Amino acid sequence: MTQTTQPPIMGHTLRRVVFFLLVLLTTLVAMGLMVSVFQTDGLSPMELILLLLYAILFSWICISFWTAFMGFFICLTGHDHWAISRHPGTPPDPAAPPPRTAILMPIYNEDSERVFAGLRAIHQSLADTGQLAGFDFFVLSDTRDPEVWVEEELRWQNMVRALDGKGRIFYRNRPENTSRKSGNLEDFCTRWGSQYRYMIVLDADSIMKGETLVEMVRIMERQPRVALLQTPPVPINRESLFARILQFAGSLYNRMFTAGLNYWQLGETNYWGHNAIIRIQPFLDHCGLPKLPGREPFGGDILSHDFVEAALLRRAGWEVWLAYDLEGSYEEIPPTLIDYAKRDRRWCQGNLQHLRLALSHGFNALSRLHFSMGVMSYLASPLWLLFLIATGVEAYFQTQHEPVYFFGENWAPVWPVSFAVEMTTVLLVTLTMLFLPKGLALLLLLKDSRLRRDYGGMLKATLSVVLETVFSVLTAPVLMLFQTKFVLAILMRRAVGWPPQQRGDHMTSFREAAQTHGVQTLIGVVAGVLSYQYVPAFFWWFIPVLLGLVLAIPVSMLSSSIALGRQSRELGLFLTPEETEQPVVLRYLEENLEEDEPVLPVLREKPASRFVQALTDPYVNALHLSLLPEREPPGKRRRHYLEGLVHQLEEEGPDSLSAAQKRDLIADPETLQRLHALFWSRPPVNAGMLP
């Protein structure tokens, strides 16, 4: 199902020409200023390195700046001829059967209570639209932890009962999580995909309004050339100061930034992996992912599959759009700086893999740019670090250079040429490009009184932007060092060794902060002392970076504070529209999380172990058994292995088994039934639930 190639649309081409010309011209002007500073006495190798680094980093900033600027322009005028949601398209064939859409939630060892509370909220919101009949829900579990696995099954059954969702709300757990999330989705597509025209892919913490889901399907029906429609998820629901600052920034700036992305990306945008609708047939035809040759980190499974899937769809002639003006698409973000860095660690490897894909045969230019931008979002950090070090070293050599005022026969002194104006201009241009978008986003509030109120009013919104800017200046060097470490570790094929990500709000302890940021603080102190000692002039310029590093521990701890997050909310700081006026779907989520009378009695109590409950409780045991996939009976070696585990459990108890071993025991139907009988025939001591 390949699409015929359409001739380029003049309006699209014009937008891209304007955008890239602006990026190119701005970069050239800034480079010109830099060259004029360096070239007086010829370019030294160090200056050449500095120029090269500056060119890469500045063009990266330029893309971001002009994207924001175009977004500002579109939001200000309110006109966007090419917004996919406003394009009339072709009316769907009335004779065609109504579309069926599968809402997919791939999960992996997540907090089941939150997952199902969220999915229920989406279901409730969709029911409010009266369009529920066109949608089915799939919880696609790749969970390996047996405790979470059993909990998920009970929560699923509870949701089915509570919402009368039999035959509409489905659950399955994959026996093997081959190829991780992309394999999980592929498994859905190859088993049940052909029963649906569309799938809406969510993340474990995604929330979407029912109206938004219905609108996404409506757009896809009108635009038969579109294979994928991405909505911009707005960060919500966190209470820590760190997360509230990020939520505010994400909400205020992304409104403008996504409009800017659509300005130049149009039907060749990217896929962000969730909160998107996908036409299933082209996905089946073109998005089967190969394993990349070679070893990790660059070989093996494709980790950031979303970029590649979007590129494959575009390669086959399909359009991929960002519906930036569709509201009601939400996600949750990491609650602390350390959790944020952990998430970066996971994403970093996948994005670096794109180094090879960017130059692969067959992808179009914009796909290559997306791959390169993915790489740059992590590679920019080591490049900035290198740039800072090179600047410091160059500044040091400059201080060692004695100025000569009299040359040869000249009686008059030759004063050294000052480039302070040029250097200040370069610096000011760079800072403007970094910070002006924040001001532009703020300006947009002047246009819309309702939005202004939702962000707490102009004064508080301005104060929030100022404080957010200070916070981002303080955390930027910390993230720079984190990302540099991740990139280097991945390039050297070393595991960085992060514990699993915690999604819920929680405070960072001094111990955790000191362990994580100790080295960063030390680097800040050493760099400060060295620069003050040897290049005092550079030291003062360097202070924002040094301050961020030296204060990393207190900033990380304080920003994780939920109390400070709540106080800032009471003061009207960092407010987002979702906090000011809670959307109904988020209220449903809150109510579902507070529910203390689940339909299933077994969920009303929290036992010490759901794994043990699956062996002892007749209902939990029967439900788990009924959800196991049909497969061949185990071979002789496998039987011996399971037999050994059964004996270990009988003698030493469940604590002696690893999570993987427990999973093996309850994944085999025969062993599960046998253990159920054994537990009832010889109940363990202190087993409260057994007679």
Residues 164-223 touching another protein, rule: CB under 8 A, are 166-167, 170-172, 186, 189-195
Query: How many angstroms separate the CA atoms of 482 and 496, rounded?
Result: 11
CB of 533 to another protein, least distance (A): 43
In the bound state with another protein, the residue whose beta carbon lies nearer, of 8 and 618, is 618
406 binds another protein (CB under 8 A): no
In the bound state with another protein, the residue whose beta carbon lies nearer, of 189 and 545, is 189
In the bound state with another protein, the residue whose beta carbon lies nearer, of 284 and 584, is 284
488 binds another protein (CB under 8 A): no
CB of 314 to another protein, least distance (A): 12
Q: Which residue, among 342, 247, 323, has the nearest Cα to 82 in the 3D structure?
A: 323
- Map the footprint of another protein across residues 131-170, applying CB under 8 A: 136, 156-157, 160-161, 166-167, 170
Contact between residue 359 and residue 263 where contact means Cβ atoms under 8 Å apart:
no
Q: Which two tokens stand for residue 170?
A: 């489905």
Query: How many angstroms separate the CA atoms of 123 and 142, rounded?
Result: 22
Contacts of 632 (CB under 8 A, 6+ apart): none
CB of 166 to another protein, least distance (A): 6
For 640, other C-beta atoms within 10 Å of its C-beta total 11
442 binds another protein (CB under 8 A): no
Contacts of 89 (CB under 8 A, 6+ apart): 219, 222, 223, 224
CB of 279 to another protein, least distance (A): 14
In the bound state with another protein, the residue whose beta carbon lies nearer, of 402 and 596, is 596
Query: How many angstroms separate the CA atoms of 662 and 611, rounded?
Result: 7
φ, ψ for residue 9, nearest 5 deg: -85, 130
In the bound state with another protein, the residue whose beta carbon lies nearer, of 160 and 326, is 160
Query: How many angstroms separate the CA atoms of 475 and 433, rounded?
Result: 19
Applying CB under 8 A, the span of 48-56, 90-98, 202-210, 680-688 interacting with another protein comes to: 680-688
Applying CB under 8 A, the span of 202-210, 375-383, 577-585, 652-660 interacting with another protein comes to: 652-660
Measured over all CA atoms, what is the biggest interatomic distance in the chain, rounded to whole angstroms? 110
In the bound state with another protein, the residue whose beta carbon lies nearer, of 288 and 536, is 288
* Cβ neighbourhood burial of 684 (10 Å; 0-12, 13-18, 19+): middle
In the bound state with another protein, the residue whose beta carbon lies nearer, of 288 and 554, is 288
For 627, other C-beta atoms within 10 Å of its C-beta total 17
Buried b (16+ CB within 10 A) or exposed e, 111-136: bbbbbbbbbbbbbbbbeebebbebbb
Give the total of residues touching another protein (CB under 8 A).
71
Per-residue x/- marks for another protein, 290-329, CB under 8 A? x-xx--------------x---x-----------------
Per-residue x/- marks for another protein, 447-486, CB under 8 A? ----------------------------------------
User: What DSSP letter does each residue of 535-565 carry, written as one string?
Assistant: -HHHHHHHHHHHHHHHTHHHHHHHHT-HHHH
- The runs of H, that is alpha helices, within 78-145 are 112-129
Applying CB under 8 A, the span of 264-272, 382-390, 479-487, 668-676 interacting with another protein comes to: 668-676
Q: Which residue, among 661, 670, 614, has the nearest Cα to 639 in the 3D structure?
A: 670
For 675, other C-beta atoms within 10 Å of its C-beta total 22
- Map the footprint of another protein across residues 584-623, applying CB under 8 A: 600-601, 617-619, 622-623
In the bound state with another protein, the residue whose beta carbon lies nearer, of 193 and 335, is 193
Query: How many angstroms separate the CA atoms of 388 and 546, rounded?
Result: 11
Number of C-alpha atoms within 13 angstroms, CB side, residue 121?
28
Per-residue x/- marks for another protein, 347-386, CB under 8 A? ---------xxxxxxx------------------------
Applying CB under 8 A, the span of 37-45, 84-92, 221-229, 650-658 interacting with another protein comes to: 650-658
In the bound state with another protein, the residue whose beta carbon lies nearer, of 281 and 582, is 281
Per-residue x/- marks for another protein, 224-263, CB under 8 A? ----------------------------------------
651 binds another protein (CB under 8 A): yes
CB of 51 to another protein, least distance (A): 25
Q: Which two tokens stand for residue 477?
A: 């060097």
CB of 211 to another protein, least distance (A): 26
CB of 431 to another protein, least distance (A): 36
436 binds another protein (CB under 8 A): no
In the bound state with another protein, the residue whose beta carbon lies nearer, of 533 and 681, is 681
- Map the footprint of another protein across residues 258-297, applying CB under 8 A: 283-290, 292-293
Q: Tell me the CA end-to-end span of the chain in Å, nearest whole number.
A: 61
Q: Torsion angle, CA of 304/307/308/312, rounded to 10 degrees?
A: 160
